[in-house]
Amino acid sequence: MSAREAALAKTYDPAGTESRWQQAWETCGAFHPDPAAPGEPFAVVIPPPNVTGSLHMGHAFNTALIDTIVRYRRLAGNNVLCLPGTDHASIAVQTILEKQLKAAGQRKEDLGREAFLEKAWAWKAESGGTIVGQLRRLGYSVDWQRERFTLDAGCSAAVVEAFNRLHEQGLIYRGEYLVNWCPASGSAVSDLEVEMKEVDGHLWHFRYPLSGGSAAAASSGRTHLEVATTRPETLLGDTAVAVNPRDPRYAHLVGQTLTLPLVGRQIPIVADDHVDAEFGTGCVKVTPAHDPNDFAIGQRHDLPLITVMAKDGTMNEAAGRFAGLDRFDARQAVVAAMEAEGYLVKVEPYRHSVPFSDRGKVPVEPLLSTQWFVKTEPLAARCREALDAATGANPRFVPERWAKVYRDWLTDIRDWCISRQLWWGHRIPAWFVVSETGGLITDSTPYVVARDELEARAKAEQQFGCGTHAHPLVLEQDPDALDTWFSSGLWPFSTLGWPDADAADLERWYPTSVLVTGFDIIFFWVARMTMMAGALMGDGLAGDGSPDGSRDGNPAAWIPFRDVYIHGLVRDENNRKMSKSAGNGIDPLLLIERYGADALRFALVREVAGAGQDIRLDYDRTSDTSATVEASRNFANKLWNVTRFALMNLGGETPASLGQPEPAHLQLADRWILSRLARVNRETAERYASYGLGEAAKGLYEFAWNEVCDWYVELIKRRLNPGENPSPDALVDQRTARQVLAKVLQELLLMLHPLMPHLSEELWHGLTGQPVETFLSLQRWPVLDVAALDDVLESSFAELIEAIRVVRNLRAVAGLKPSQSAPVQFVTGRPTLAALLTAATADITALTRAERVDVLSAQQGSRQRALAGVSGELQVLLPIEGLVDLDALRARLDKDIAKADKEIKGLAGRLANPNFADKAPPEVVAECRANLAEAEAQALLARQRLADLD
RNA sequence: GCCCGGUUAGCUCAGCGGUAGAGCGCCUGCCUUACAAGCAGGAUGUCGCUGGUUCGAACCCGGCACCGGGCACCA
């Protein structure tokens, strides 16, 4: 049922309307752009949510903002591409599947890689569409035909190509380093996937005896050093104790040897600047294979690395009698043993930070292992240069302050561990020449990086010679997968057709226009995308990975987005970040069901006025209601009804059939609303274009409700219904009112469209009678009518409104029933104001239930008893003898007097200050004098009226 | 430790040099033929504290307090 047919429904029902338009848009391919189409390109690739995910408020918020921007751009005439997709969420998906397997008593190894991946794809096919379907319910104007998935053929090809090129440039290497090991997922994770958490633990103090026969031991009288640790189980892997080189207490012991308790290993005392002499005893046990700081110390002093833990988090053979114990059980056991053997000095409660795996939710173990890394510094350096380019920041952050966060992260950046011991993901395009190492992949097995196995074989043959029958060349692809963010880092160009440099989409829409995202993924995503682009979309780096110096091109050509618009997070009513783990999420779908997608979108955008600020969404969990969203729903309903009013009053005509109003026929109210319309048009376009989305929403809300509905529509009701046998003039007037109303509404709907796409589409069709497949979404932003702008008119209209308000207030104060009419007198000494009021007599009569309206000069002012109010230079009188509540009236006048007196006091005080007149700008002083004169006149008038009452 | 926000009406937030605004909520009166998801009217704040700059500060500068966030992390 269209708006036209449903003209009698009193309230807007979003459910049916929204799904109908979503379907129509998609069926018609409304948002499927042609790269060859005209218009300045405008592209946004949306931050791909996890396929595992379901829609949460953060997605809804991000979507509302992006869609508002791109819908505006479409109206503004850009050739807009908004490209959706999902990422494959390596760890998350694998965790889900392994859980399912475990429930069935299986492990993935039982299935084998191939079968496991089949299962994974089946799972993806089944539940991967959830979030995408939910995004559709928001009315997202993305090109679904271009929807991408990080594991699809195109993205996968991009990953292989990117890996190869980075490797060729020396930006990817393989090596044995201490990495963050997540025992829960059985994989390495990157630094970013580790979250430090404050934990209540203990600090154990242990005695490490100096080795017997030590000369220093004898001379100093010391028999041991005391060390403290939060992780006793690691002492099994200690290979030194470090002290500060300038610590006088221990200087003479450096170079001596200690006997490691429980193990008996002889370990040296080394001097290292890392040690803080002030902290604890000033002695630190060094476990290079299990702590990043210790690893660094170990490298400086050439200490052996002793790994005492296996990858599943249990102690290994090197842990001696503790082998096989889980790391936390081992901790207890080691402490018990130390105590039993007299090495435990004391235990203190200790609050400290422990690294946790984001996904696995268990403490991460720093573990020595061979992994693939991206050498980040050359890439980061290039991004820093782009950000600080003399020609302007690339990308430009909105709000600007986020640029600092981004730059800080790109400074002192550590290499990025990209290999994951997982199956679900992009398999690393490296092939080990296992025939060289007896069929096994070891840390020293040679490998080749290639696009596919054929290329790998060719490369291997070149390097290792052709295989013979006796010694066939056997290759085995690296079993590991890549970090999901590796593929996400390619998203802005892999989705546009890269590595095909001639891809039409890439040519047309790269670099993209803006990236809209929360600040929580600046590092995960923004920085990695810019780094990847630096290596792959520019003109390359030198072979050793250092900037080749030859690049003088503009970073704007390769940085993947011109702007980065950073928005806040959605917080709950208690100001906590909404998240699944905290269980405080609000389901956007519930709100959509209750209030409509447009209402939710409008509420979210309306709240973001302070860009980059978090927003708080009120929510009542017992009833699943939100006052904020409800207010937006009410606004939608208001728009529905004002359009309904128009449909009932346009005499079956449309904006097109009515045509533009004749300037000569315009009345005061017409010219006023057209001036306002033009002003709002200009403001709103500026706001949309500069990410002032909240302001745009608020401005439109106020214009639509407080000006169009409250005043303009009320003012033209009389003209729209000229009654029986109207005069020719009345008919002209009616037509003019219809023309203006139709124009205002049509443009209002256009301007609101980015915020409330379904409702505006629906109402626009109702208003214009356009066929279904002609979309408001694809119309043009209304042309700004500069000639209509009229400051003087707007301010005198404000005076008229104020005059009407004073009358209404007086009526209310005096207790007049709305149905009672009363005579109104305006007394003013200002001819222009008098003229305005005289011209608007009919309007005032209609809006104040006036019996008659008289505009009098100051001299003519009535002396009879009357309700009296004062506003500026205007006296308003309601001479209704007998009906007057005198006390209320006196109170009202007293209030006027008090208000005027307060203003007089303030203004006079200011003017009395000689410095003010001297130093303040003349126009400010003049304004101050004028205000004072007005306030004095006002006080005088009010006092006179008060005296007249007695 | 380093860095970034915030503190304005009961709630959520605008305002960012000329003496305070909106929405919601609240109070009063209205089913006035678009809308009770509505209409009309009304009340409401030493703009966190404290110095300073200025003729003038919610707004600029310094200090303090509290709230929130990010990065780093000392065993």
Q: Give the residue nearest to nucleotide B12 (CA to C1').
A: A616
| Contacts of residue A14, Cβ cutoff 8 Å, sequence gap at least 6 | A595, A596, A597, A598, A599, A633, A636, A758, A759
**Which residue's CA lies closest to nucleotide B72 at its C1' atom?**
A196
Answer yes or no: is A705 CB < 7 A from strand B: yes
The predicted structure's pLDDT at residue A541: 42
- Residues A60-95: tens digit of each pLDDT: 999 999 999 999 999 999 999 999 999 999 999 999
Locate A637 and state its tokens.
């309903």
Span CA (A694) to C1' (B15), Å = 14
Q: What's the complex ipTM?
A: 0.95
Over 90: is that where the pLDDT of A781 sits?
yes
d(CA A919, C1' B64) / Å = 33
Can you give the pLDDT at residue A540?
Answer: 47
pLDDT digits (tens, 9 = 90+) for A855-886: 998 777 656 667 788 777 788 888 876 656 67
Of the listed ranges A52-56, A83-87, A373-377, the one predicted with least confidence? A52-56
Q: Would the Cβ of A645 be found within 7 angstroms of any atom in strand B?
A: yes
| A576 CA to B49 C1' distance (Å) | 27
Which residues 568-597 in chain A have a CB closer than 7 A to strand B?
571, 575-577
Task: Judge whether residue A869 contacts strand B, using its CB and a 7 Å cut-off.
Answer: no
On the question of pLDDT at A219 being above 90, the answer is: no
Q: What is the largest CA-CA distance in chain A?
A: 125
CA–chain centroid gap for A323, Å, is 48
Kindly report, residue by residue over A803-844, the tens digit of the pLDDT: 999 999 888 888 888 888 889 999 988 899 999 999 999 999
- CA A925 to C1' B60 (Å) is 22
The reply to whether A922 has its C-beta less than 7 Å from any atom of strand B is no
Report the protein residue whose CA lies nearest the C1' of nucleotide B42.
Answer: A809
Smallest CA–C1' distance to B6, residue: A613
pLDDT in tens, A879-921: 876 656 677 778 888 888 888 888 888 888 888 888 888 888 8
In whole angstroms, give the CA distance from residue A521 to residue A567. 11
Between strands A187-189 and A172-182, the pairing is antiparallel
Q: Is any atom of nucleic acid chain B found less than 7 Å from the CB of residue A228?
A: yes
Three-point CA angle A259, A261, A264, nearest 5° = 55
Band (A127; pLDDT cuts 50, 70, 90)? confident
- Residue A327 CA distance to nucleotide B55 C1' (Å): 72
Q: For residue A79, which amino acid is it?
A: N
The span from the first CA to the last CA of chain A, in angstroms, equals 64
Name residues 890-919 of chain A with a Cβ under 7 Å from nucleic strand B. 895, 906-907, 909-910, 913, 915-916, 918-919
For nucleotide B71, give the residue with the nearest CA to its C1'.
A409
Spanning CA of A149 to C1' of B41, the rounded length in angstroms is 58
Q: How far is the CA of A711 from the C1' of B32 (A)?
A: 15
Decide: helix, strand or coil at residue A260: coil
Residues near A339 by Cβ (< 8 Å), separated by ≥ 6?
none
Length reported for chain A: 950
Global pTM value: 0.94
Distance between the alpha carbon (CA) of A933 and the C1' atom of B58, Å = 27
Task: Quickly list DSSP for A565-624.
Answer: EEE--EE-TTSPBP-TTTT----HHHHHHHH-HHHHHHHHHHTT-STT--EE---BTTTT
Q: Cβ-count burial of A467 within 10 angstroms (0-12 exposed, 13-18 middle, 19+ buried)?
A: middle
